[in-house]
């Protein structure tokens, strides 16, 4: 039984959010290019996403990952989840579609998929960076850029850490994201911050893989990207751009999903990712395909060692292992410094 709501003559469904219940209703599904509920307007999206989901995960994928990121700089093709052979602009467009569609339910879905653990990972990431720490009086100003941080998770934590814990009000954070929907969510959430922190926050819509004109070269103290870099169409280009924007001695820090070390845990984790995550996406957000892409993109991302290699290739100096595994490798923090 579908107690159906009327459709306007333009064929766009009116939003009906059920306020007393946490499940997101299918209000914006018609606007999502990825959803099969759309009347086969882009059938190739649904067919290719499911053919991609049936590609077996084998160890061959790991060795092709570093070569695929090298390939993209040579042939201009990249991958979208398990689908290969896309141009960078196509990938950018497809990722935009995914994040337009998940923006509203992003936080709730993160909580459901990781049982709230993503909050711990993000807290640890920001604490380990210790933004705003300065031994001089008055404290030195710092400029921070949080890339692909549209909803503001990392930026808000950094502002709190700098302004409140390190008592350094001259820290400025810029949130950059290629997707205006995610930025809109971030702007909305930033309204509940204290006024001093809001004054130190700015938003920028930009592509991280291309030169960002709004930020002068060599001006950043810290460049962060959390759970975003695997979606970039050209990771080496983004790393080069990060290198260009940072000042000498500036730090590049990346929090991203990575390879789990323990094989038994990995077996469970992979099965959870590929069967439960898309199912939760379908039940809660009404969008299986976006979450299928998300777990595929995690699978395609380079391993800790390979990504460390990419960071060094961009010119950063990497100390020790170069990465810190969180939750047994489910996520990893990579850091590099621009040499002085």
Partner 1 sequence: MKTLTPRLRSLSSKQSLLQHHVQQLPIGATAALSSHITTTATTTSGTTRPFSVLNRPPPNYPGHVPLTGLERAALAVGSGVVSFFDPYRHDMIAALGEATASPYFIERLRRAMLSSRTGRRILRDRPRITSASLDLPRLRALPANTVGGTYVAWLDREGVSPDTRDGVRYIDDAECAYVMQRYRESHDFYHALTGLPVVREGEVALKAFEFANTLLPMTGLSLLAIATMKPAERGRFWSIYGPWAVRNGLRSDEVINVYWEEEMETDVDALRARLGIETPPDLRDIRKRERAEKKRLKEAAAAQAVAS
Binding site for partner 1 (CB under 8 A): 1-8, 11, 13, 16, 18, 21, 23, 25-26, 29, 36-37, 39-40, 43, 46-47, 50-51, 53-54, 56-59, 267, 270-271, 274-276, 279, 282-283, 286, 288
Shortest distance, position 324 Cβ to partner 1, whole Å: 27
Give ∠ CA 210-211-212 in degrees, rounded to 5: 110
Minimum Å distance from CB 252 to partner 1? 33
Closest CB to partner 1 among 54 and 192? 54
Taking the complex as a whole, the smallest distance from the CB of residue 26 to partner 1 amounts, in Å, to 6
Q: How far is the CB of 38 from partner 1 (least distance, A)?
A: 9
Q: Which residues share a beta bridge with 169? A: none
Residues 336 and 312: beta-carbon distance below 8 Å: yes
Angle at 101 between CA 95 and CA 104, to 5 degrees: 125
Of 24 and 145, which has the nearer Cβ to partner 1?
Answer: 24
Q: Which CB sits closer to partner 1, 217 or 268?
A: 268
- Rounded Cα distance between 214 and 194, Å, is 25
Minimal distance in Å, beta carbon 31 to partner 1? 14
Instruction: Using CB atoms within 10 Å of the CB of residue 186, give its burial: 0 to 12 exposed, 13 to 18 middle, 19+ buried.
Output: buried
Question: Does residue 240 contact residue 209 with C-beta atoms inside 8 Å?
Answer: no
Of the pair 61, 236, the CB lying nearest partner 1 is at: 61
Cβ-count burial 257-267 (b if 16+ within 10 Å, e if not): bbbbeeeeeee
Nearer Cβ to partner 1 (207/287)? 287
Region of residue 24 (left: phi > 0; alpha: psi -120 to 50; beta: else): beta
């Amino acid at each position: 039984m579908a107690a159906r709501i009327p459709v306007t003559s333009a064929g766009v469904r009116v939003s009906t959010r059920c306020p007393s219940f946490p499940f997101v209703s299918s209000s914006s599904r018609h606007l999502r290019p990825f959803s099969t509920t759309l009347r086969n307007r882009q059938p190739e999206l649904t067919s290719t996403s499911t053919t991609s989901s049936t590609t077996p995960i084998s160890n061959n994928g790991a060795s092709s990952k570093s070569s695929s990121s090298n390939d993209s700089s040579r042939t201009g093709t990249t991958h979208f989840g398990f689908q290969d052979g896309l141009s960078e602009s196509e990938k950018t467009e497809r990722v935009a579609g995914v994040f337009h569609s998940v923006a509203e339910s992003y936080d709730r879905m993160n909580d459901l998929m990781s049982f709230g653990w993503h909050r711990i990972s993000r807290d640890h990431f920001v604490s380990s960076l210790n933004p705003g720490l300065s031994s001089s009086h008055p404290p030195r100003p710092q400029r921070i850029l949080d890339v692909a941080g549209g909803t503001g998770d990392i930026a808000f934590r950094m502002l709190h850490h700098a302004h409140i814990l390190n008592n350094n009000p001259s820290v400025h954070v810029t949130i950059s994201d290629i997707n205006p929907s995610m930025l809109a969510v971030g702007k909305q959430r930033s309204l509940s911050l204290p006024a001093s922190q809001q004054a130190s926050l700015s938003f920028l819509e930009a592509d991280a893989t291309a030169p960002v004109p709004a930020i002068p070269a060599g001006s950043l103290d810290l460049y962060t990207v959390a759970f975003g870099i695997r979606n970039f169409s050209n990771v080496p280009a983004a790393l080069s751009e990060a290198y260009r924007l940072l000042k000498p001695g500036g730090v590049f820090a990346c929090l991203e999903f990575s390879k789990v070390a323990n094989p038994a845990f990995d077996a469970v984790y992979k099965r959870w990712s590929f069967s439960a995550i898309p199912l939760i996406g379908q039940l809660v957000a009404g969008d299986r395909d976006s979450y299928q892409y998300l777990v595929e993109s995690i699978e395609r991302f380079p391993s800790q060692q390979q990504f460390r290699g990419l960071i060094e290739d961009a010119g950063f100096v990497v100390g020790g292992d170069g990465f810190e595994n969180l939750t047994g490798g489910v996520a990893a923090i990579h850091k590099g410094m621009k040499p002085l």
